[in-house]
Structure 1
Amino acid sequence: MDPTRTNTDARPATVVIGAGPAGLTAAYDLSKHGYPVRVYESTDVVGGISQTVERDGWRFDIGGHRFFTKVAAVEALWHEILPDEDFLLRPRMSRIYYRGKLFDYPLKAGNALKGLGLLEAARCLGSYAWARVRPPKDQSHFDAWVTARFGKRLFSIFFKTYTEKVWGMSTAELPADWAAQRIKNLSLMGAIKNALLPKRNQKEITSLIEEFQYPKFGPGMMWQVATDKVRAQGGSVELNAPVEHVRWESGKGAVSVTVTGADGTSSEVPADHVVSSTPISALIRSMQPAAPAPVQAAADDLRYRDFLTIALVVPLEAGFPDNWIYIHTPGVKVGRIQNFGSWSPFLVKDGRTCLGLEYFVNEGDEVWSAPDDELVKLGTAELERLGLIAPGNVEAGYVVRMPKAYPVYDDRYQKNLDVIREWLAANVPNVHPVGRNGMHRYNNQDHSMMTALLTAENIRTGSAHDVWSVNVEEEYHEEGGDGGTKRSTPAGTGRDAPLMPRQGQQLPNEAVSA
């Protein structure tokens, strides 16, 4: 369908920036209902962070995507896009690796104390008892909050190292809200209770689900089929086609976008609505005329944490049954390791599996910028150092970089977002941010999709859903109903993320060496 309106009765035409889960969900819904839509993706692949990367016949799930949701509309959409036979039902298994031993995750007290050995278990219990008698007075940050509920020794073993790897900062800088979200408000006594009653209410506690759905060729399969269906329904999806500018006029809002096509030529595409899943900072920088200086400054002040995967091909027996293992052993840079064969046998080849070593980085830093062959050597050396593979087991290696994987909630992000949202609403109300980076919101895939579905309905029907109120915690708090855990996350903010130190602040030596 041509998005250019030919008469006053034409349905509004929409341009979608970005072909990730949110952008393609909006395009699928609009095209399904007969609304003209064009999607422009700056890279050569659809799916965003939910893409399936393929190299030499190996398939990699970047970050790992369990298809489990309590949002009925998203569940229905998954099965509308992909037939049931394309989904596998996979067992959920994740563990913590610490100094040569594996521990259940989520943490189970009996398993953890047994794995630590009698002496260390006694020390941990003593540390927990002391924390109960003399809890930290100030529990506004991650380390003190966790220490009060598990004791200092268990905090140091099972929480500190991995968390500092993810965010590149000391846990003393992380707010308690992040701890409450990630640890699901458990205490050591709560963990003991969970260990004694392992089946209790596990379907109601998202982190404890025992199985999940998974597209057999990885999450990118979902978005490739969605792309095909958008095109079949009359919409268009163009790759290698970055949107350079969003042109707007006072009193009219956005009127067109300027796109650079794969052939290098630029064209102006009229638009009645613009749905944007590109980072909201990039959206502001694309505005023409330029947004006011304070709005641009707010956009420039938003920050991101980046991510790369080193995928190593090893013999099948060198794998493990877990979807991924969290690496809490200090002294190595890897934060988490996936076994792609445990997600789906269709991702790997007969007799071999592929281990994906995940590194949390900043774009341009030493690890991000290292040549691929050096990174393959790094990943191989760390796997061998951890004792997870024998020397000589790695047969091939690949590196996949993913910029802007995690939006950072620092001490100024909310003020920056308020400035940006206010300007967008006042000047370009027909520009609709959706999804994780589009809204600078640390949401899961299903909640990003929900923002897109509501936005599409707003465009189609003139409804006024507030997509900013779509909140991870509405469906994913610890336990629902009257007996549920009180939420520490403010309504409407999505998943809380940590306060990050500003430039110039240094980590303590212990955090740097981890």
Structure 2
Amino acid sequence: MGVSHLKKDIVPVVVIGGGPAGLTAAYELQKLSDTHVPRVFEASDMVGGISRTETHKGYRFDIGGHRFFTKVREVEDMWHEVMGDDFITVQRLSRIFYRNKFYDYPLRIFNALGNIGPYETYKIIGSFIKWKIRPRQQEDTFEDWVVNRFGGRLYMHFFHSYTKKVWGIPPSEIRADWAAQRIKNLSLPKAVWNAISGANDTASLIEEFQYPRLGPGMMWEKTRDLIREKGGSVETHSEVIQVNRDGNRVTSIDVRHWTEDGEKHTERVEGEEFVNSMAVRDLIHAFDPPPPPEVVEAADRLRYRDFLIVTLILDHADPFPDNWIYIHSPQVKVGRIQNFRAWSAEMLPDQNTASIGMEYFCQKGDGLWSSSDEDLRHLASEELEKLGLAKASDVIDHAVIRQPKAYPVYDSEYKDALDTVSGWLKTLENFQTVGRNGLHRYNNQDHSMLSAMYAARNILGEDHDVWDVNVERSYHEEFEAKPKKKAAPQSAVRKSTAL
């Protein structure tokens, strides 16, 4: 095993993971310091993590859609510093497919009433009044949280089946804090008022957003290049297999490098500071010596939802104008459908075709995940036709991408487990963990980036709690069993209001 020898006049910073969080930590560090030199290790062959852009015969597609919208000024600034003129402004158009009808999303009052009918509208309003008068006293679950704000009838129509499809478990087993984080600041009266007035201050329902003209991966490929230009390194095909520590200090990591022809070698990389963005469950198992048994046991209780996308190339232009469509119908397995030209025309090499992403939520090793690419093409094509969007015979090509650990799961056990894991990680003096999987928090891209920016600033002497990013005061009041001893920095409280 080779050992990297480091110059004494620089401060080596090791970054685990080349997704948005890892690359942002390296970029921010170089922006603020000439002496701290980052070395980023990414296990796969591409940077960008779940925000990468895959390609197939010139067709470019996301691993899910990635809007660039934020209220976090630092993140907005970085996007524009990196992308320059390569951003385009995209008008949002998205709908819900339910009971063979399309519902505009955000809600359009006449569209919704026309689809659902006067009788069901009356029942929804009655249900809402009932639950406002006699709400559930405990909001422990996603179901509790939604019913109290929308009523049981609307929950049954638009939340129950889709949420179960996405997560693979009933909404009654998902923690309420996921709802508070992801659909905060929205209720039935506000949704109706937004529909009537055109007002909208709910970040998840924004009407337009920015987007790199060649997909989100363009952002992270440019960030990688800038890091390298400034003297840092970003190494793909480099899997971190061990994190070595001496007491409360991490001393080095072991990295398995491999070439495209399969040759492998292992390197021990020393550092003064370490930033992690790999999944926290895997991270805990990578430590040598290992953490206490109760920490390892807690990490093993953290769960993830996996994802795959079947991109279908059609022999004609777009079958629908939406950026994406949510598929609530339980008659099909697909959960969401992307139209990549509606994001950017440059995602397609041939404008006489269409590129349609059929997204499936699954578990690694289950029937969907284990299906052959050809079987998945057949399934996706048949479901596209069953939904009345295009004929299966219109499909002329396809590509399949499987994405493990796409979403951290907020089940009934996750919070106690995560508290145990994070409590131990916070005892490490020179090691921070950031990003969606590094914090086991269903953050959007902007908050993953903000946690990484704070980690970089902490290395340079500031004092930010990265675990508090995107944890609002209302979240603490509703779900924290006891107050935190360390308050969030004022900048975090002020700016953690996006998405």
Please say whether Structure 1 and Structure 2 have the same fold, judged by a TM-score greater than 0.5: yes
Output aligned runs, 1:31-430, within 5 Å.
31-32=30-31, 33-34=33-34, 35-83=36-84, 85-128=85-128, 131=131, 140-198=140-198, 200=199, 202=200, 204-250=201-247, 253-262=249-258, 263-348=263-348, 349-426=350-427, 428-430=428-430
d(CA) in 2 for partners of 1:163 and 1:275? 33
d(CA) in 2 for partners of 1:4 and 1:409? 42
Q: Corresponding residue for 1:512? A: none
d(CA) in 1 for partners of 2:185 and 2:468? 23
Once the two structures are TM-superposed, the CA of residue 98 in structure 1 deviates from its matched residue by: 1.2
Q: What per-residue deviation string (whole Å, max 9, x for no partner) do you get for residues 25-50 of structure 1?
A: 11122234322221111111100000
Once the two structures are TM-superposed, the CA of residue 55 in structure 1 deviates from its matched residue by: 1.1
Q: What per-residue deviation string (whole Å, max 9, x for no partner) do you get for residues 248-299 of structure 1?
A: 1136x11111111124111111111111101111111111222232222222
d(CA) in 2 for partners of 1:132 and 1:273? 51
Q: Corresponding residue for 1:481? A: none
Once the two structures are TM-superposed, the CA of residue 317 in structure 1 deviates from its matched residue by: 3.7
Once the two structures are TM-superposed, the CA of residue 144 in structure 1 deviates from its matched residue by: 4.8
Once the two structures are TM-superposed, the CA of residue 370 in structure 1 deviates from its matched residue by: 0.6
Q: What per-residue deviation string (whole Å, max 9, x for no partner) do you get for residues 453-506 of structure 1?
A: 1111121x22222111212547xx8xxxxxxx99746587999xxxxxxxxxxx
Contact 2:175 2:410 in 1 (8 A): no
Q: Corresponding residue for 2:468? A: 469
The change in CA–CA distance for 1:409 and 1:14 in structure 2 (over 3 A counts) is same
Q: What per-residue deviation string (whole Å, max 9, x for no partner) do you get for residues 421-455 of structure 1?
A: 333333x3211101111111111111111111111
Once the two structures are TM-superposed, the CA of residue 182 in structure 1 deviates from its matched residue by: 4.2
d(CA) in 2 for partners of 1:404 and 1:210? 29
d(CA) in 1 for partners of 2:179 and 2:291? 36
Once the two structures are TM-superposed, the CA of residue 300 in structure 1 deviates from its matched residue by: 1.7
Partner secondary structure for residue 54 of structure 1? strand
d(CA) in 2 for partners of 1:250 and 1:328? 50
Which structure 2 residue ranges, 5 or more long, are not aligned?
Answer: none
TM-score (norm 1): 0.86
d(CA) in 1 for partners of 2:469 and 2:476? 18
Q: Corresponding residue for 1:507? A: none
Contact 1:20 1:47 in 2 (8 A): yes
d(CA) in 1 for partners of 2:477 and 2:210? 27
d(CA) in 2 for partners of 1:94 and 1:11? 49
Contact 2:106 2:195 in 1 (8 A): no
More off after superposition, 218-227 vs 180-189: 180-189
Once the two structures are TM-superposed, the CA of residue 186 in structure 1 deviates from its matched residue by: 3.8
d(CA) in 2 for partners of 1:304 and 1:319? 33
Which structure 1 residue ranges, 5 or more long, are not aligned?
Answer: 478-484, 496-514
More off after superposition, 55-64 vs 32-41: 32-41
RMSD: 2.6
Partner secondary structure for residue 6 of structure 1? coil
Amino acid at match of 1:207: S
d(CA) in 1 for partners of 2:478 and 2:137? 18
Partner secondary structure for residue 437 of structure 1? helix
Partner secondary structure for residue 306 of structure 2? strand
Contact 2:178 2:410 in 1 (8 A): no
Partner secondary structure for residue 227 of structure 2? helix
Partner secondary structure for residue 435 of structure 2? coil
Contact 2:107 2:192 in 1 (8 A): no
Contact 1:21 1:448 in 2 (8 A): yes
d(CA) in 2 for partners of 1:150 and 1:284? 39
Partner secondary structure for residue 386 of structure 2? helix
Q: Corresponding residue for 1:480? A: none
Once the two structures are TM-superposed, the CA of residue 161 in structure 1 deviates from its matched residue by: 1.3
More off after superposition, 186-195 vs 89-98: 186-195
Report % sequence identity.
48
Partner secondary structure for residue 225 of structure 1? helix
Amino acid at match of 2:53: T
d(CA) in 1 for partners of 2:457 and 2:124? 53
Q: What per-residue deviation string (whole Å, max 9, x for no partner) do you get for residues 177-206 of structure 1?
A: 4444444454433332222111x2x3x321
Partner secondary structure for residue 45 of structure 1? coil
Alignment length, in residue pairs?
476
Contact 1:106 1:208 in 2 (8 A): yes
d(CA) in 1 for partners of 2:392 and 2:398? 15
Contact 2:334 2:360 in 1 (8 A): yes
Partner secondary structure for residue 259 of structure 1? strand
The change in CA–CA distance for 1:370 and 1:250 in structure 2 (over 3 A counts) is same
Partner secondary structure for residue 31 of structure 1? helix
Once the two structures are TM-superposed, the CA of residue 129 in structure 1 deviates from its matched residue by: 5.3
d(CA) in 2 for partners of 1:170 and 1:452? 33
Contact 1:180 1:488 in 2 (8 A): no
TM-score (norm 2): 0.88
